Amino acid sequence: MADRFRVTLAQLNPTVGDLAGNAAKARAAWEEGRKAGADLVALPEMFITGYNTQDLVMKPAFHTAAIAEVEKLAADCADGPALAIGSPWVEGAQLYNAYLILKGGKIASRSLKHHLPNETVFDEVRIFEAGPLGGPYSVGSTRIGSPICEDGWHEDVAETLAETGAEFLLIPNGSPYYRNKMEVRFNHMVARAVETHLPVIYLNMVGGQDDQVFDGGSFVLHPGGALALQMPVFDEAYAHLDLKRTDDGWRAVEGEKAHLPDEWEQDYRVMVESLRDYMGKTGFRKVLLGLSGGVDSAIVAAIAVDALGAENVRCVMLPSEYTSRESLEDAEAVAKALGVHYDYVPISEGRAAITNTLAPLFEGMEPGLAEENIQSRLRGLLLMAMSNKFGEMLLTTGNKSEVAVGYATIYGDMSGGYNPIKDLYKTRVFETCRWRNANHRPWMKGPEGEVIRPNVIDKPPSAELREDQKDSDSLPDYPVLDAILDILVDQDGSISDCVAAGFERDTAKRVEHLVYISEYKRFQSAPGARLTRRAFWLDRRYPIVNRWRDPS
């Protein structure tokens, strides 16, 4: 019996629906493993289709084509190491989430996912059938157990594999980022290592898909739970892991341990990578956005430059008579610091034309919200016209606080294709700006140093749609608002919870009301980077028509 086994771990970035492209990445990984003398090359969950496929994978033509691509891959990779790859799988009339082992030119064995996640962004219960608890598969004389993603979070699958002869666990994942998720993963995987007394290999994918970013961070644990190898977060990478047979079973040979950044850096990286992959995977190369002189558009501009490069970012100032000299200077300073193309397009003439057109209908009525929103919608019209003319995707710039309470104009500043800060509360926007000014990393395409001048961060926020307007005229101060939203949205808490935390009941009720009546806006809003377990979209699905209010 062999006393050494080498696994090439391929932490790669697939694209949903690009079957041929994903297969090409798998072949390249197999070649890397073959050159390194691997016994097995391992890829993440559902790699051939990309992940999360949602309902696409239920389309018979699609999953049939995916399985055919895997069969072709098996034939191409017949002479060399075994190849393990995530794929849909059909038995009878049932569709499964499977992990397929390719050896000798064919699909030699498969594991079927048993625990189907049905929370946060996942609803696999309605897509796949649950596979039975099964045993390990063999590669040469070595028996390997592969709980698939969610299966690794439950003890029964791993214990069944250990009891039926698995010598180590290889767990393929499609696990998207949320803040501090690595700690959750470690805790679950340590539990599996301790329970089974086996080495645990946790293999995750990287890359953006719609709102989700798969953050990689693959790792290997010794049987007691100690860390043996840590791959980087967010980057495509290979690791050649050696396991050796001892009197106590297989043990992982110590490998490199990549540094894991703090939550501020990881959040910012997610916003950059999500935009970069959303652009690259949909075919866009350039973006534009309205640069107001405020903090939200400034951080979105920085994210866009770091993701795409300054040459691919257009910033547009669209001032009205309410735009302050301070905002004009701040916007221009941010544009110059980032090195982007900067356009100055006043809206006063267009606004006057619209106001005059509506004057007969509005005669005798006091100016108010309708007139304010004309400005926002005119800006949206002009930005979308530029988007069409120049072939540049428009970015929206509303933070999570505004998205939550509807402090944004539908068909106005909500117009656009993607929102990098959709899941970032306003108070975190301020701190993220400060973090970016103080930090630079090799994965950023933007310049080092201060790119957002301090005045942009420190001045009172304002939409500047009327004289002397401040956000605090309409909303609680952001530290209060964000704390209440964290309770109501992120923690699914109650009005009583808000009061217990020290907030006025009337203030909490007002915020709750704004959250519920703004659902129709979120339903029509652009997708954006997911940073938390309660991001607006798949994580939190509420009815638009809803008269319920918390009576507590």
Over residues 236-275, the pLDDT tens digits come to 999 999 999 998 899 999 999 999 999 999 999 999 999 9
What confidence tens digit (pLDDT) does each residue in 75-124 have? 999 999 999 999 999 999 999 999 999 999 999 999 999 999 998 899 99
For residue 4, give the H/E element and its range: strand 4-11
Structure tokens at 111: 């594991």
Q: Is the pLDDT of residue 46 over 80?
A: yes
Mean pLDDT (the chain) is: 95
- Residue 464 pLDDT exceeds 70: no
Q: Does the annotation mark 433 as catalytic?
A: no
Sheet of 287-290, strands arranged across? 341-344, 313-317, 287-290, 393-394
Clarify whether 77 is annotated catalytic: no
Q: List, for residues 494-549, the tens digit of each pLDDT value.
A: 999 999 999 999 999 999 999 999 999 999 999 999 999 999 999 999 999 999 99
In angstroms, the CA 497 to CA 452 distance is 36
Q: pLDDT grade, residue 474 (50/70/90)?
A: confident
First to last CA, the chain: 67
What is the largest distance, in Å, between two alpha-carbon atoms of the chain?
A: 92
Distances 547 to 508, 513, 517 between C-alpha atoms, Å:
17, 10, 9
CA distance 85 to 458: 50
Binding site feature residues for ATP? 290-297, 397
What pLDDT, on the 0 to 100 scale, is given for residue 465? 67
Question: Annotated binding residues for L-glutamine, as ranges?
Answer: 175, 181
As a whole number, mean pLDDT of residues 425-452 equals 98
pLDDT band at 331 (very low <50, low <70, confident <90, very high): very high
Residue 374, pLDDT score: 92
Please state the pTM of the whole predicted model: 0.95
* pLDDT score of 1 more than 70: no
Task: For residue 279, give Cα distances in angstroms to 387, 402, 441.
Answer: 14, 24, 21
Q: List the catalytic residue out of 25, 103, 113, 422.
A: 113
pLDDT of residue 84: 98
Q: d(Cα 266, Cα 181) in Å, to the nearest integer? A: 11
Of the pLDDT bands very low, low, confident and very high (cuts 50, 70, 90), residue 294 is very high
Provide the pLDDT confidence category of residue 323 given band limits of 50, 70 and 90. Answer: confident
pLDDT for the residue 526: 96
Marked catalytic residue, from 69, 77, 129, 149: 149
Task: Say what the pLDDT of residue 120 is.
Answer: 87
Interval 345-360: pLDDT, tens: 999 999 999 999 999 9
Instruction: Please say if the pLDDT value at position 462 is more than 80.
Output: no
**Structure token digits, residue 460:** 């009172």
**Binding-site annotation: residue ranges:** 175, 181, 290-297, 373, 397, 402, 521
| Annotated catalytic residue 45 | yes
Q: Kindly report whether the peptide bond that precedes residue 437 is cis, defined as omega within 30 degrees of 0.
A: no
User: What residues contact residue 24 under an 8 Å CB cut-off, 6+ apart?
Assistant: none
Percentage of the chain with pLDDT > 90?
A: 92
8 A C-beta contact, residue 205 and residue 176: no
User: Token pair of 519, please?
Assistant: 């659902």
Looking at residue 173, the DSSP 8-state letter turns out to be E
pLDDT given at position 461: 80
C-alpha to C-alpha distance for 353 and 370, rounded to whole angstroms: 15
pLDDT value at 166 more than 70: yes
Q: Using only the alpha carbons of the chain, give its radius of gyration.
A: 26
Percent of the chain with pLDDT over 70: 99
